[in-house]
């Protein structure tokens, strides 16, 4: 029956008189019903669950007896969803800026940044954010976001960027953390964001919020009517008051000189020949201020302070200040009211006053709360109306708080939550209205095209993509082609992509896109070229695998999809492999992949948006032997020791299903996800671990890891120290040691890290973590030249199945000039590890040139994202005086992985060939990625000097 499942699906579809593609047409929206099942399979699945329950009720049957019946049920269930089809796996148009010549773009940004003023540099970092958004490393985007905040000058930019940094860390998901809490660093402090001025050094300092002495400042002291009266408490006698403002039947005594000093209009009214200048009593009843408010104005004219008034009175003063241009009084009222904003309720109450009176700081304070509460605040219809409508945009603009920066942030949060929503469309329209620079128009128009394409509004999508191309975004031509294709103009789409390939330096995505609009050998050739130019594109692997399945070559299809999963794990590829494994009746493997998939994306819907992933897990669970928690721990040790990260993810997902909310398991999950470069999913697991922690010391450790992973190393160390002060634990010592080892590399720091790791190993923990600690400790011993100690640590790590210790042990043998032992050690790792591209790469360092070339070729085949093999091959070519081939080798990989070290090496090659222009360009591109890279800075300086000469 192994090869007949897809045949069964086909036959069932034929019996029902429809094909898989027709089944999909019934539910193209991908929406699910309230009970979790979607589309045409709903009734069938209900029937299926009835059958599964009947099987469960027969408790005296063992696992082997249950399996055949459950397998048949599973086959019938999957048949109701149709078979996999190549038509439904077409790649999305990426929704970020994508340059045809990325190196030139980076170099241009760096050149412009060097020459810009302090008022422009924050905007330049925002442009860098837009460029780096499409890269796989989120740290580059986050680094630019932080730099933009550090160099921000105006309050508006500070408010938006500090809120964006908080959103990037998803602090809204941390239980017990308020939106207005200060994380301890000025760069994100809500108070410091409301202080204008250029001070990038201050932004990196610890915030003073936690250091301020506790005073009675939170106790509100308001002044009553009597105290607002003309008294002598401030050094004035009754005879000093020479005029009165009459409001209704009340008379407010004032000093003419003081009131005239409030503003030029008051001065003109009271001194410059108007009727009021000759009167002792002035009727002020028609100016919209109460007697109480006028008394407050008189007191402000003497004290220049509003701190003693109640909020309602200050609002009156603000209105009066606006009518009579009292700049100083308006500023004081603005700042005072801004200090009262601390949550959504106060923000929503006061923002209307702020917008009405164009109170810049008050609106900034309210805006800050709304932004720091994203995405939840957008569910408030008043907030949504303010940001989305043209009227709201104009009101924000009049108060100085509408900008491209603001709407760029809002659109990113909206697209992440629901790309197809009307809110997303309206925010993108506002973004387009604020776009003035070329890159801003490219981004706004291209994203509008992507959203319209997702909404199946193809005519509008084509219009916006064309606008983006007109603004200079070449990649949007792919969007135009896709929109034309969806409108039935396949040949026009093909011609457009054909023309693009002819006019530009070909990129992998160009051939991938053109492959959608042709068939047969031409399609196959385009996909092969796409993989050759950019092996990181997943669609060619998926299409080839699906084609193999249609030819009943399922095992070959699994091998093909394994190629991309080996170095780039994504939910869609795991879904395909699970589908193929079900066809081969490898339900254990399929369950592993679906569990791993749901770890990456818990809301993932399988089978073209028809079946919730957790429902498929439930079905597959009835086809495999169930394990208790102890069995799972044993299985996790086996997966971990064989360096099978996907298998480990599957086991951890199963363990969490048995013991939901276990913070230790969630933390392990985050570590596995980081190893798979799934940063976003890793941070989600880490936040959940923090929320589920049952002790304070454990919670502090997870908060420390979150801070470390988002670039706050000092704060991470502080959290570790707080945790240790409560209870000495393995994880707290390990966190502190890890962060310190990454921060400082001097011998004194290394010795301290050794002490911390030894303390960690004295604390209770399991073998998985102790193996990692031993390996880390050995690595530090190597750094301080204690090789025998390092060997002991690595051997101890291997005894508890920390297989990666083979790599460290090989390094020590190499340092002791035992190359054969080092080579053999890496061979052991290759034999044990499931995914071993790094092992082949490392082993190449311990053998002769020919064997090294063979190992590096294998490493590149397994993981084309590893840069060392390309650098090695290029260096060998340079040694053989094949300069052009060496440059070509680096250029090939830089096209799909613009890495700092690759760019620096190519710049050095250009420099050795006396090509200063190319050297400068590559240096500038590298420095755009890391402006502090010392070797590149030195090379750049020399190349510029040589160019000038």
The pLDDT of residue 399 is: 95
User: Which among 661, 691, 172 has a CA at the least distance from the CA of 703?
Assistant: 691
Does residue 118 lie within any of the structural domains? no
CB 296 within 8 A of CB 305: no
The top-scoring range by mean pLDDT among 604-613, 627-636, 726-735, 829-838 is 726-735
Range of the domain at 611: 537-624
- Write the pLDDT tens digit of every residue in 647-688: 999 999 999 998 887 899 999 999 999 999 999 999 999 999
Please give the residue that has the higher pLDDT: either 415 or 744.
415
Give the chain's largest Cα–Cα span: 108
- pLDDT tier at 53, thresholds 50, 70, 90: very low
Question: To the nearest whole percent, how much of the chain has pLDDT over 90?
Answer: 69
Which pLDDT does position 178 carry in this prediction?
A: 85
Rounded to an integer, the average pLDDT of 133-137 is 89
Least confidently predicted of 175-179, 512-516, 635-639, 848-852: 175-179
Q: What is the mean pLDDT of residues 234-239?
A: 53
Q: What is the DSSP letter of 206?
A: B
Neighbouring CB atoms inside 10 A of 753's CB total: 26
Over residues 426-444, the mean pLDDT reads 97
- The residues with which 250 forms a beta bridge, in sequence order, are 247
Q: What is the pTM of this model?
A: 0.87
Expressed in percent and rounded to 5, the helix, strand and coil fractions of the chain are 70, 0, 30
Domain membership flag for residue 503:
no
H helix or E strand, kind and range, residue 251: strand 250-254
Residue 811 falls within a domain, yes or no?
no
Q: Roughly what angle, to the nearest 10 degrees, separates helices 438-454 and 476-486? A: 20
Q: 920 to each of 99, 112, 125, 909, 934, how far by Cα in Å?
A: 19, 14, 21, 12, 15
Residue bearing tokens 């077409």:
90
496 versus 46: which is more confidently predicted?
A: 496
pLDDT-derived band at 230 (thresholds 50, 70, 90) equals very low
Q: What are the angstrom distances between the C-alpha of 633 and each of 510, 597, 638, 667, 694? A: 46, 20, 9, 15, 21
For residue 720, name the pLDDT band (cuts at 50, 70, 90): very high
16: pLDDT strictly greater than 60: no
**Domain limit, last residue, from 563, 590, 624:** 624
Q: In angstroms, rounded to a whole number, what is the distance separating the alpha carbons of residues 499 and 494?
A: 9
Residue 620 domain flag = yes
* pLDDT score at 68: 54
- Average pLDDT of the residues in 319-336: 92
Asked if 166 contacts 372 with a C-beta cutoff of 8 angstroms, the reply is: yes
- Kindly state whether residues 619 and 662 are assigned to the same domain: no
- Percent of the chain, pLDDT > 70? 87
Rounded CA separation 193/368 (Å): 9
Residues 918, 919, 924, 930, CA torsion sign: positive
Output phi, psi for 253, to 5 deg. Answer: -75, 135
Give per-residue pLDDT as tens, 721-763: 999 999 999 999 999 999 999 887 788 899 999 999 999 999 9
Q: How many domains does the chain have?
A: 3
Opening angle at CA 772, ends 770 and 773, nearest 5: 60
Structural domain contains residue 745? no
Q: At which of 589, 624, 659 does a domain end?
A: 624
At 130, is the pLDDT very low, low, confident or very high (cuts 50, 70, 90)? very high
For residue 247, the SS3 value is strand
Q: pLDDT band at residue 69, thresholds of 50, 70 and 90?
A: low
- Give residue 115's pLDDT: 86
- Are 612 and 576 in a shared domain? yes
- Residue 788 within a domain: no
- pLDDT level of residue 232 (50, 70, 90 thresholds): very low
257 confidence band (pLDDT: 50, 70, 90):
confident
Strand, coil or helix: 37: strand
Instruction: Write the pLDDT tens digit of every residue in 161-203.
Output: 999 999 998 888 888 888 888 877 788 889 989 999 888 876 6
Residue 615 lies in a domain: yes
Residues 6+ apart with CB under 8 A from 691: 173, 174, 175
Give 66's pLDDT tier (boundaries 50, 70, 90). Answer: very low
Residue 549 is part of a domain; what is its CATH number? 1.25.40.10
Residues 928 and 872 in one domain: yes
Average of pLDDT values for 689-717? 93
- What span, in angstroms and rounded, lies between the C-alpha atoms of 9 and 5? 6
User: What does the pLDDT read at residue 838?
Assistant: 93
Name which residue leads in pLDDT, 258 or 508. 508
pLDDT recorded at residue 70: 57
Q: What is the mean pLDDT of the chain?
A: 87
Is the pLDDT reported for residue 877 higher than 80?
A: yes
Q: Do 918 and 906 share a structural domain?
A: yes
Task: Give 442-463 pLDDT, tens digit per residue.
Answer: 999 999 999 999 999 999 999 9
Give the Cα separation of 482 and 251 in Å (integer).
Answer: 74
Summarize the confidence of residues 830-842 as an average pLDDT.
91
The verdict on residue 661 lying in a domain is yes
Q: Is the dihedral of CA 498, 499, 500, 503 positive or negative?
A: positive
Neighbours of 696 (CB within 10 A): 11
Are 886 and 897 found together in one domain?
A: yes
What pLDDT score does 3 carry? 45
Three-class SS of 522-566: HHHHHHHHHHHHCCCCCHHHHHHHHHHHHCCCHHHHHHHHHHHHC
Listed in order, strand segments (DSSP E) in 796-913 are none
Quick check: 424 and 415 in contact, CB under 8 A? yes
Task: Give the pair of three-digit tokens for residue 53.
Answer: 């329950």
Q: Which residue did the predictor score with more confidence, 948 or 815?
A: 815
Q: Cα separations (Å) of 232 from 239, 256, 302, 721?
A: 10, 16, 11, 56
């Amino acid at each position: 029956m192994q090869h007949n499942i897809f045949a069964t699906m086909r036959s069932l579809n034929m019996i029902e008189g429809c094909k898989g593609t027709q089944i999909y047409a019934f539910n193209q929206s991908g929406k699910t019903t309230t009970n979790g099942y979607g589309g045409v399979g709903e009734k069938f699945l209900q029937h299926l669950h009835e059958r599964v329950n009947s099987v469960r009720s027969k408790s005296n049957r063992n696992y082997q007896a249950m399996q055949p019946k459950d397998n048949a049920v599973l086959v019938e269930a999957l048949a109701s969803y149709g078979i996999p089809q190549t038509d439904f796996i077409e790649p999305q148009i990426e929704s970020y800026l994508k340059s045809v010549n990325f190196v030139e773009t980076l170099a241009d940004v760096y050149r412009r940044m060097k020459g810009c003023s302090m008022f422009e540099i924050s905007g330049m970092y925002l442009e860098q954010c837009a460029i780096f958004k499409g890269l796989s490393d989120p740290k580059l985007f986050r680094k630019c976001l932080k730099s933009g905040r550090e160099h921000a000058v105006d309050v508006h930019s500070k408010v938006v960027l500090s809120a964006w940094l908080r959103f990037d860390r998803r602090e809204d998901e941390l239980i017990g953390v308020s939106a207005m809490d200060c994380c301890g660093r000025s760069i994100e402090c809500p108070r410091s964001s409301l202080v204008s001025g250029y001070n990038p050094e201050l932004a990196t300092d610890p915030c003073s919020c936690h250091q301020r002495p506790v005073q009675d400042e939170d106790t509100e002291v308001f002044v009553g009517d009597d105290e607002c009266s003309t008294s002598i408490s401030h050094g004035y006698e009754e005879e000093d008051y020479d005029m009165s403002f009459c409001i209704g039947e009340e008379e407010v005594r004032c000093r003419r000189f003081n009131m005239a000093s409030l503003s030029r209009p008051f001065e003109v009214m009271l001194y410059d020949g108007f009727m009021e200048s000759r009167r002792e009593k002035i009727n002020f009843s028609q100016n919209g201020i109460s007697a109480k408010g006028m008394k407050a104005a008189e007191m402000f004219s003497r004290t220049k302070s509003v701190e003693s008034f109640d909020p309602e009175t200050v609002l009156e003063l603000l209105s009066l200040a606006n009518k009579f241009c009292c700049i100083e009084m308006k500023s004081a009222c603005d700042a005072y009211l801004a200090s009262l904003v601390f949550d959504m309720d106060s923000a929503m109450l006061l923002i209307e006053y702020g917008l009405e009176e164009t109170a810049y700081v008050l609106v900034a304070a309210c805006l800050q709360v709304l932004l720091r509460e994203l995405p939840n605040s957008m569910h408030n219809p008043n907030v949504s109306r303010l940001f989305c409508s043209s009227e709201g945009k104009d009101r924000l603009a009049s108060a100085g708080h509408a900008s491209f920066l603001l709407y760029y942030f809002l659109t990113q949060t909206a697209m992440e939550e629901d790309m197809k929503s009307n809110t997303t469309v309206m925010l993108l329209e506002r973004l387009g209205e604020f776009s003035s620079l070329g890159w801003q128009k490219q981004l706004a128009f291209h994203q509008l095209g992507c959203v319209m394409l997702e909404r199946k509004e193809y005519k509008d999508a084509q219009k916006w993509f064309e606008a983006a191309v007109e603004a200079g975004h070449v990649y949007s031509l792919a969007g135009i082609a896709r929109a034309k294709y969806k409108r039935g103009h396949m040949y026009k789409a093909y011609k457009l992509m054909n023309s693009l390939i002819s006019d530009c330096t070909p990129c992998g995505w160009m051939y991938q896109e053109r492959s959608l609009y042709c068939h047969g050998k031409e399609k196959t050739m385009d996909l092969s070229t796409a993989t050759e130019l950019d092996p990181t594109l997943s669609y060619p692997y998926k299409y080839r695998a699906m084609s193999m399945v249609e030819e009943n070559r399922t095992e070959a299809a699994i091998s093909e999809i394994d190629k991309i999963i080996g170095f780039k794990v994504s939910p869609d590829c795991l879904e395909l492999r699970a589908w193929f494994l079900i066809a081969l009746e490898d339900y254990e493997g399929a369950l592993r992949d679906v569990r791993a998939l749901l770890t990456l994306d818990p809301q993932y819907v399988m089978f073209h948006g028809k079946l919730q992933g957790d429902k498929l897990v439930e079905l597959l669970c009835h086809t495999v032997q169930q394990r208790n928690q102890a069995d799972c721990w044993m299985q996790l040790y086996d997966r971990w020791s064989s360096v099978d990260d996907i298998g480990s993810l599957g086991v951890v997902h199963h363990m969490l299903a048995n013991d939901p909310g276990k913070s230790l398991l969630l933390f392990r999950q985050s570590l596995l996800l980081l190893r798979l470069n799934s940063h976003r999913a890793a941070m989600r697991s880490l936040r959940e671990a923090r929320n589920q922690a049952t002790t304070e010391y454990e919670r502090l450790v997870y908060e420390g890891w979150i801070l470390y992973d988002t670039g706050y190393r000092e704060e991470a160390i502080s959290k570790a120290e707080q945790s240790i002060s409560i209870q000495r634990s393995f994880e707290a010592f390990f966190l502190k040691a890890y962060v310190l080892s990454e921060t400082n590399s001097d011998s004194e720091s290394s010795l301290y890290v050794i002490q911390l790791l030894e303390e960690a190993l004295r604390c209770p923990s399991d073998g998985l973590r102790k193996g990692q600690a031993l390996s880390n400790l050995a690595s530090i011993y190597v750094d301080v030249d204690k090789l025998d100690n390092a060997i002991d640590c690595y051997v101890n790590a291997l005894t508890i199945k920390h297989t990666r210790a083979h790599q460290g042990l090989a390094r020590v043998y190499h340092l002791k000039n035992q190359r054969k032992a080092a080579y053999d050690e890496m061979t052991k790792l290759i034999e044990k590890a499931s995914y071993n591209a790094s092992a082949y790469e490392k082993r190449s360092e311990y053998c002769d040139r020919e064997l090294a070339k063979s190992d590096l070729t294998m490493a590149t085949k397994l993981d084309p994202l590893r840069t060392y093999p390309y650098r090695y091959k290029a260096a060998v070519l340079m040694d053989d005086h094949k300069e052009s081939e060496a440059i070509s080798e680096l250029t090939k990989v830089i096209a799909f992985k613009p890495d700092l070290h690759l760019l620096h090496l190519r710049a050095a090659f250009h420099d050795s060939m006396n090509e200063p222009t190319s050297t400068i360009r590559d240096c500038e591109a590298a420095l755009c990625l890391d402006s502090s890279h010392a070797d590149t800075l030195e090379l750049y300086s020399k190349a510029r000097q040589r160019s000038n000469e």
